[in-house]
Chain A
Amino acid sequence: MSHSNPSTIASQPAPGNGLSLASAAALSAHTPHPAGQSESLCAWLMSEQPRSRRQAALGRAYSGWRTFARNRLALLGLLIVLALGLTALFADLLAPYSAYSGDLRSTRLLAPSWSHWFGTDDQGRDILSRLMLGSRITLFVVALVAVLAAPIGLLVGTVAGYAGGLVDAALMRITDIFLAFPRLILALAFVAALGPGIENAVLAIAITAWPPYARMARAETLSIRQSDYIAAVRLLGASPGRIVLRHIMPLCLPSLIVRVTLDMAGIILTAAGLGFLGLGAQPPMPEWGAMIANGRLYVLDQWWVAAAPGAAIFTVSLAFNLLGDGLRDALDPKAAP
């Protein structure tokens, strides 16, 4: 006699989304009634028979969130990123001291203490305050690069994938050529020509960041393009532009979001590298990479001047990596290494 209970036999349908067999049966046994009445929100979201598109979309989002939330490291990443956002937003209120002016006589190069958590730098400025103000720059760079590079990559990739033929070949050649270039060095050369400054750094990084997104979007488009629903929309008379914009691009979004999030860590590191070389935000702006370059001069005895900004970069970069990993596991598990 079998020891396993009937609900685990392979030939019976597996209940989805973690509901037990009993409650799924109970749910489907309900006669249809208006939403919100005597159903808990959770059950409404997880229902196997959603009654509107909004309910289905919300249910999918909720189920994705639950998968994501099971990964504690990813949650930690999300928390840190949110903390970064809040710090950047309220930096003026949160920072205990001024980030730009310091007292050269009394507060120069102080070691970490209760009054200065991360110590002070060579100009007497409190490092914690500088870190907080610097988070704005970090966030600015990351957001701007994402906003610039991702849409370009998405556009190039979907157009190339959908159009095919000569357009595809030409666009992909250009993309491959850009992919074969060293990102940091090219960004460096760009900034060298444009002149140092935070906007030029952003532009330089964005120019070298879009090719991977184009490749990815093209690969997705190629597989989506063959499907029946695209054929159906085309039969209904949709123009290619509309098809690409309204039907193909939204489907590429999940993996694009994952990729962008994972890339953000690398973008932060590249921006910090440019700052370290003096090519990013100019002094006295508290850009974290430039702070490390500054601290380098004093690293032997006053190690905290260089250590603190580096730890900040590491933490934020790590957070984006964890967040990106978690998003990938939730949205696109097949791509996980």
Chain B
Amino acid sequence: MTREQIPPLMGTAPQVSAATPRLIRRLKAAGRFALVIFLTYLGLLAVTFFIGRVIPVDPVLAIVGDNAPPHVVARVREELGLNQPLAAQFTVYLGKVLRGDFGTSVLTANPVMQDIRRTFPATLELASLGILLGAGLGVPLGVWAAVRRGSWVDQAVRIIGLVGYSVPIFWLGLMALLVFYARLGWVAGPGRIDVAYEFTLTPVTGLLLLDTAMAGDWEAFGSALAHLILPASLLGYFSMAYISRMTRSFMLHELAQEYIVTARAKGLSEARIIWRHALRNAMVPLVTVIALSYAGLLEGSVLTETVFSWPGLGLYITHSLQNADMNAVLGGTLVIGSIFIALNLLSDLLYRLLDPRTHLR
């Protein structure tokens, strides 16, 4: 994708006459921004509502499952208010969601929100480490490939990218587990931490690396790291494949621009030209790429967490799926969907912040 093909969620800046006072312009922009967030989120809610209520033949059974006792079925049927018109149902649904009430899980009998709160930090930790690896390796590699065009680095980036775009992540994870855990024993197996430490931990943030470090429990830290390293590397590889290719593409575009010739004519060092001039310009679309890649890692967690038995939100969704627990599935979908939207908007904001040409005058 070229820079032009990454669509800003907000659209282009409005053409406002210079006569309009700055404050009004800023308010208008903020208003448009809020409207976009509102509409997009409303759309997501509409879609999940549609999936949950409209599609299933019997939404009640979809929620409570086939084996529920009749009084539960009756209660839920009343709760859902299925005899009411669709619009009224949607409004009730909206109200519940905005209060954080995603219903109750059939599997765990807990409120879905509670389950999500419990499982989300694991996904967050994994995806965050993955993106750190992916961006931390991917950006320098992409820069290197662009600067040394046609060299072995360039070819390597192309190959890494191609493989990353073509291989199923869950299969690669499975093979990696086979090689690095079962055969070589270099990393720890399923789960987040050795069972031995699981009960001595007091979860503060839910992010095990942070929690163990803060408690000074370095053995537990090592165990958590040993469990984290393989899935995080897997996610890191995937985001690196995407990020390095896009970095290379953006850098090639910038290096071909006239201002680079100017920078050379000024006698600046090659390093300064690459990092301070070309990359600084390439960063503008690149932060969008990184944000989207992060979103992709969160989304892909449904697959990777299954392979690694990682007790995160992804695994929760898949388990609920296999047990036809609609409330849980939709709750998880909403959470990930909301983060997705938030990341999209964040990348839009960052784009505007970094590119002075988009600043409102």
Residues in A lying within 8 Å of B, measured CB to CB: 172-174, 176-186, 188-190, 192-194, 215-216, 219, 265-266, 269, 272-273, 276-279, 289, 292, 296, 299-300, 303, 306-307, 309-310, 313-314, 317-318, 321-322, 335, 337
Contact = CB atoms under 8 A, between A and B. Distances in A.
A192 B302 CA distance: 14
B205 interface: no
Given A188-B317, A189-B329, A306-B171, A265 B48 contact: no
A321 B166 contact: yes
Contact of A276 (B5, B39, B170): B170
A318 B162 contact: yes
B341 A265 contact: no
B2 to A, nearest CB: 6
Nearest to B1: A337
B171 A216 contact: no
A186 B40 CA distance: 15
Nearest to A215: B7
Contact of A265 (B4, B47, B166, B171): B166
A182 B299 contact: yes
Contacts of A313: 167-168, 171
Nearest to A307: B175
B167 A314 contact: yes
B333 interface: yes
A89 B327 CA distance: 42
A210 to B, nearest CB: 14
Contacts of B47: 181, 186
B326 interface: yes
Contacts of A180: 9, 40, 44, 340-341, 344
Contacts of B39: 173, 177
* A-B complex: 10 closest residue pairs judged by Cβ atoms: A337-B249, A310-B171, A177-B43, A318-B166, A317-B166, A193-B55, A182-B299, A189-B333, A193-B51, A182-B340
Interface residues of B, number: 61
A185 B333 contact: yes
Given A186-B47, A277-B302, A310-B175, A193 B168 contact: no
A276 B303 contact: yes
A216 B5 contact: yes
B178 interface: yes
Nearest to A175: B7
B315 to A, nearest CB: 11
A181 B2 CA distance: 21
Contacts of A174: 43
B56 interface: yes
A183 B337 CA distance: 9
Contact of A273 (B303, B326, B332, B333): B303
A337 B253 CA distance: 9
Secondary structure dominating the interface of A: helix
B107 interface: no
Given A272-B168, A321-B165, 11 more contacts: A184-B300, A185-B302, A185-B332, A188-B302, A192-B321, A276-B170, A276-B303, A276-B306, A277-B322, A279-B321, A337-B249
B19 to A, nearest CB: 25
Contacts, number: 153
A292 B171 contact: yes
Contacts of A303: 175, 178
B51 A190 contact: yes
A215 B252 CA distance: 24
A191 B287 CA distance: 32
Contacts of B163: 314, 318
Contacts of A318: 162-163, 166
Nearest to B342: A180
B278 interface: no
Nearest to B339: A182
B336 interface: yes
Contacts of A215: 5, 7
Contacts of A292: 168, 170-171, 174
B248 interface: yes
A318 B326 CA distance: 35
B227 interface: no
Interface in B179-201: 182
A277 B295 CA distance: 20
Contacts of B175: 303, 306-307, 310
Contact of A183 (B162, B299, B321, B344): B299
Which of B166, B174, B298, B300 is most buried by chain A, counting CB atoms within 10 A of its CB?
A: B166
Contacts of B299: 182-185
B73 interface: no
Nearest to A277: B318
B143 interface: no
A134 to B, nearest CB: 14
Nearest to A310: B171
B165 A299 contact: no
